[in-house]
Chain A
Amino acid sequence: MYTTTAELWAEAQKKEVPLSQIVLESEMKLTGTSQEVVYDRLRVTFAVMKKAAENALEHPLHTVGSLIEGVAQTQYQYSQSGKTLCGPMLNLMMARAFSCSETNAAMGRICAAPTAGASGIVPAVILTVADHLQATEETVLRGLLVSSGIGAVITRNATVSGAEGGCQAECGVAAAMASAAAVEMSGGNGEQAMHAAAFALVNIMGLICDPIAGLVQMPCAQRNASQAMNAMLSADFALAGQKCPIPLDEVIDAMYKTGKMLPMQLRETALGGIAATPTGKRLATQIFTT
């Protein structure tokens, strides 16, 4: 049984299996179920993620205050224009992350990963890597297992609540989960997956939670898209052979401590960051007086 990412990696090394196998065995033991039962539940989870990631690509969804209405469609159409800087694959990934955020804000069905506000990152990354690699369903489910294993350690040892740790604890953690998944799906080893997750958290260390009008829309949707990118580039750092000098467990602890140092104005209260700009405040007043 693991309680840290170091223990997760040590168990995988000892048994000479991928990280996902240790996460799978742990879940079977915890719930007293078989691999097939866990896989079936993961299939349901992934189906919800996929639908949310496609839901808003073709048409805008109505949200309270309309701060992000149509963002997924805009990015999706651009991804097919042939004129993008990041290329069609990564622009489609951004569109998928936007689609999840738009679905969430429009009171559609999503799967929290690890939270509702950050629910676009893991789906966007896993779907994109799966397309790129023409991956099997098994590879996709393994990706979900790795991401949830990393996420479980962070939930247990730190926090995944924006009110407690800022955006780094929600979208940052989702990026760490997704980057570890991307590495295993791409054939990287467990150590590389850990480095990828560490890089993802290092890249976003200290990011505040500053939602306009307190709504889970802006900057949440943009953070979902940008943290999906963070997950991909962090995975590429690790797959290239780069090693994060600070171990993942220490990076997680640093993220947690940094979150605790953030003043309350920067933790989901909408009293700081872009929420506290003159325009942010005006938008909040407009939304709640109409």
Chain B
Amino acid sequence: MNLSIFDVLGPIMIGPSSSHTAGAARLAYIARQIVSAPYHHVDFYLHGSFAQTYRGHGTDKALVAGALGMREDDERLASSFEMAEDAKLTYQFLPIELENAHENTVKMVFHLDAGGTSVVIGSSLGGARILISEIDGFPTEYNATSPTLLITQQDTRGIISKITSVLAAIEINIGVMKLSRKDRGSIASCIIETDEPIPDEVGEILCRIPQIHRVRIINTY
């Protein structure tokens, strides 16, 4: 059997729906780590079934809980609105029609304390599984099931080999690697999923490479 018994007896989660509650909490929780900068307001644009049924399934509370850093099994999830008030995090829910998007998709716009916004789009696929499809305008396919490096870099020759040699030097095996860029020679994005947790020093070493703009590490997912 190639399916874990804990995918059958699981996930352990806050009800009522694995796709509309647990998946929503995970989407915002992972997005929070992708953004990895303080923010004071989030706009949640809900598409498809999310837009139709979000109140009855607590999708709204789950999204806010995730944005506050709560996991899908956190019993405080139901009181996330009150906790947001204490944390001075504001939010709103808006309907949206996204082209070719999965039924349960949310576009999250994080308003950063430092100014500007960060945008993450993702879908809840059922059974609390998620797929992040866009980060700050870069299309991607990221399901947040292993340690991950998110790198923003200048699209230049040899940059990828510089990144991978850093990982090779500390014996981290690359499981999946995805690249995307807006235009040739412009800013590009690189997502690397690894088999082992990623030490913080990897971020520091990578940031010393001049063509690399930003490195984010996700070890809890």
A binding-site residues for B, Cβ under 8 Å: 1-3, 23, 26-27, 30-31, 38, 41-42, 44-45, 48, 64-65, 103-117, 119, 122, 144-145, 147-149, 151-153, 155-156, 160-161, 177, 213-217, 287-288
Q: Of B2, B8, B73, which is within 8 A of A30 by CB?
A: B2
Which chain A residues lie closer than 8 Å to B1 at the CB level?
A: 1-3, 23, 26-27, 30, 149, 152-153, 156
Instruction: Decide: A108 and B6 in contact? CB cutoff 8 A.
Output: no
Stretch at the interface among B17-25, B106-114, B153-161, B178-186: B17-25
CB of A206, distance to nearest CB on chain B (Å) = 22
Q: How large is the interface on B (under 10, 10 to 19, 20 to 34, 35 or more residues)?
A: 20 to 34
Which chain A residues lie closer than 8 Å to B55 at the CB level?
A: 64, 288
Bound complex: CA of A114 vs CA of B5, how far in Å? 10
A-B contact pairs, 24 of them (CB 8 A): A23-B5, A27-B4, A30-B1, A45-B9, A45-B12, A104-B15, A107-B14, A107-B58, A109-B12, A110-B14, A113-B8, A114-B8, A116-B15, A145-B5, A148-B5, A148-B6, A148-B9, A151-B8, A152-B5, A152-B8, A155-B7, A214-B53, A214-B56, A216-B57
CB of A250, distance to nearest CB on chain B (Å) = 19
Instruction: Decide: A108 and B75 in contact? CB cutoff 8 A.
Output: yes
- Is the CB of B77 closer than 8 A to any CB of chain A? yes
10 tightest CB-CB pairs across the interface, nearest first? A104-B15, A148-B5, A107-B78, A151-B8, A216-B16, A148-B8, A152-B3, A26-B1, A148-B9, A215-B56
Instruction: Decide: B16 and A156 in contact? CB cutoff 8 A.
Output: no
Most B-side CB within 10 Å, residue of A104, A110, A119: A110
Main secondary structure of the interface of B (DSSP, over half): loop
Bound complex: CA of A56 vs CA of B217, how far in Å? 41
Besides A152-B1, A160-B8, A216-B16, 5 other A-B contacts (C-beta < 8 A): A41-B6, A108-B75, A115-B127, A116-B16, A217-B16
Instruction: Decide: B4 and A112 in contact? CB cutoff 8 A.
Output: no
Q: Which A residue's beta carbon lies closest to that of B6?
A: A41
Contacts A45-B10, A116-B13 given: A156-B2 contact, CB under 8 Å?
A: yes
CB of A48, distance to nearest CB on chain B (Å) = 5
Which chain B residues lie closer than 8 Å to A214 at the CB level?
A: 53, 56
Q: Which A residue's beta carbon lies closest to that of B16?
A: A216
Q: Which B residue's beta carbon lies closest to that of A177?
A: B8
Most B-side CB within 10 Å, residue of A44, A103, A108: A108
Bound complex: CA of A111 vs CA of B127, how far in Å? 11
- Is the CB of B126 closer than 8 A to any CB of chain A? yes
Q: Of A38, A111, A156, A287, which is within 8 A of B12 by CB?
A: A111
Q: Which A residue's beta carbon lies closest to that of B22?
A: A116
Q: Of A31, A114, A117, which is within 8 A of B16 by CB?
A: A117
Instruction: Decide: A112 and B10 in contact? CB cutoff 8 A.
Output: yes
Which chain B residues lie closer than 8 Å to A64 at the CB level?
A: 55-56, 58
Instruction: Decide: A45 and B53 in contact? CB cutoff 8 A.
Output: no
- Is the CB of B32 closer than 8 A to any CB of chain A? no
Bound complex: CA of A42 vs CA of B5, how far in Å? 9
Which chain A residues lie closer than 8 Å to B17 at the CB level?
A: 116-117, 216
Bound complex: CA of A119 vs CA of B8, how far in Å? 11
Most A-side CB within 10 Å, residue of B10, B11, B21, B58: B10
Bound complex: CA of A17 vs CA of B10, how far in Å? 26
Q: Which B residue's beta carbon lies closest to that of A123?
A: B9
Which chain B residues lie closer than 8 Å to A153 at the CB level?
A: 1
Instruction: Decide: B4 and A109 in contact? CB cutoff 8 A.
Output: no
Bound complex: CA of A115 vs CA of B78, how far in Å? 19
- Is the CB of B61 closer than 8 A to any CB of chain A? yes
Most A-side CB within 10 Å, residue of B6, B9, B11, B14: B9
Which chain A residues lie closer than 8 Å to B22 at the CB level?
A: 116
Contacts A111-B12, A113-B8, A113-B9 given: A156-B3 contact, CB under 8 Å?
A: yes
Contacts A30-B4, A155-B3 given: A110-B15 contact, CB under 8 Å?
A: yes
Contacts A2-B1, A107-B21, A148-B5 given: A65-B56 contact, CB under 8 Å?
A: yes
Which chain B residues lie closer than 8 Å to A113 at the CB level?
A: 8-10
Which chain B residues lie closer than 8 Å to A108 at the CB level?
A: 14-15, 75, 78
CB of A166, distance to nearest CB on chain B (Å) = 15
Bound complex: CA of A83 vs CA of B184, how far in Å? 78
Bound complex: CA of A30 vs CA of B12, how far in Å? 20
Bound complex: CA of A147 vs CA of B8, how far in Å? 9
Which chain B residues lie closer than 8 Å to A149 at the CB level?
A: 1, 5
Q: Of A23, A109, A144, which is within 8 A of B14 by CB?
A: A109
Instruction: Decide: A213 and B9 in contact? CB cutoff 8 A.
Output: no
CB of B211, distance to nearest CB on chain A (Å) = 37
Which chain B residues lie closer than 8 Å to A42 at the CB level?
A: 9
